[in-house]
Amino acid sequence: MTATASEVRERLPGLARRTVSGTILAVLVLGSIATVPTFLVMVLLITLGSLYELAGLTARKGQALVLPVAAVAVACYLVMAALGVQHQYQAPLLAGTMVASLGVALLGGRHEYLARTAFTIFAVLYIGWLGSYFIALRNLPSVGVAYTVACIVLISSTDIFAMLIGGSIGRTPLTSISPRKTWEGAIGGLSVTVLAGASLALVPHSGFSWTDGALIGAVTSIAAQVGDLVESALKRDAAVKDAGTILGGHGGILDRFDSYTLGGIAFYGALYLTHHIPAIR
Give pLDDT tens digits for 210-247. 999 999 999 999 999 999 999 999 999 998 888 887 76
Provide the pLDDT for residue 16.
Answer: 65
Distance between CA 240 and CA 234 in Å, rounded?
Answer: 9
261 has a pLDDT exceeding 70: yes
Q: Are residues 15 and 114 part of one domain?
A: no
Cβ-based neighbours of 140, under 8 Å, separated by 6 or more: 147, 277
Nearest-CA neighbor of 60 among 110, 104, 119, 103? 119
Say what the pLDDT of residue 264 is: 96
Q: Do residues 55 and 14 share a domain? A: no
Per-residue confidence (pLDDT) for residue 1, from 0 to 100: 39
- Domain check: are 158 and 272 in the same one? yes
| pLDDT for residue 67 | 95
Lowest mean pLDDT among 14-18, 79-83, 204-208, 220-224: 14-18
Residue 10 has pLDDT above 60, yes or no: no
**Total domains, the chain:** 2
Query: Given 139, 173, 198, which residue is the final one in a domain?
Result: 139
User: Nearest to residue 58, comparing CAs of 131, 125, 128, 117?
Assistant: 117
* Contact residues for 273 (Cβ-Cβ < 8 A; gap 6+): 215
Handedness of CA 267, 139, 90, 121 (dihedral sign): negative
Contacts of 167 (CB under 8 A, 6+ apart): 8, 11, 12, 15, 185
Q: What's the average model confidence in pLDDT over 240-264?
A: 84
Residues above pLDDT 90, as percent of the chain: 70
Whether residues 187 and 237 share a domain: the answer is yes
* 100 and 181 part of one domain: no
Regarding whether 235 and 279 lie in a shared domain, the answer is yes
Domain closes at, from 113, 139, 165: 139
Which of 139, 170, 191 terminates a domain? The answer is 139
Q: Rounded to whole angstroms, how far apart are CA atoms 39 and 107?
A: 35
If asked whether residues 152 and 227 sit together in one domain, one would say yes
pLDDT score for 245: 73
pLDDT at 170 over 60: yes
Looking at residue 21, what is its pLDDT?
65
Mean pLDDT of 131-156: 95
Give the pLDDT of residue 93: 95
Q: Share the mean pLDDT of the chain.
A: 89
Nearest CA to 60 out of 232, 230, 240 is that of 240
Residue 197 shares a structural domain with residue 178: yes
Residues 74, 209: one domain? no
Most confident of 14-18, 21-25, 223-227: 223-227
Half-sphere exposure (CA, 13 Å, Cβ side) for 124? 28
Predicted confidence at residue 247, as pLDDT, reads 65
pLDDT tens digits, residue range 54-70?
A: 999 999 988 889 999 99
Distance of CA 230 to CAs 193, 210, 214, 280, Å? 20, 30, 24, 26
Q: Do 41 and 152 fall within a single domain?
A: no
Same domain, 180 and 225: yes
Q: 239 — alpha (psi -120 to 50), left (phi > 0) or beta?
A: left
Q: Which domain holds residue 210?
A: 1-32+142-281
pLDDT, tens digit (0-9, with 9 covering 90-100), for 104-129: 988 877 778 889 999 999 999 999 99
pTM as predicted: 0.89
| Same structural domain, 264 and 170 | yes
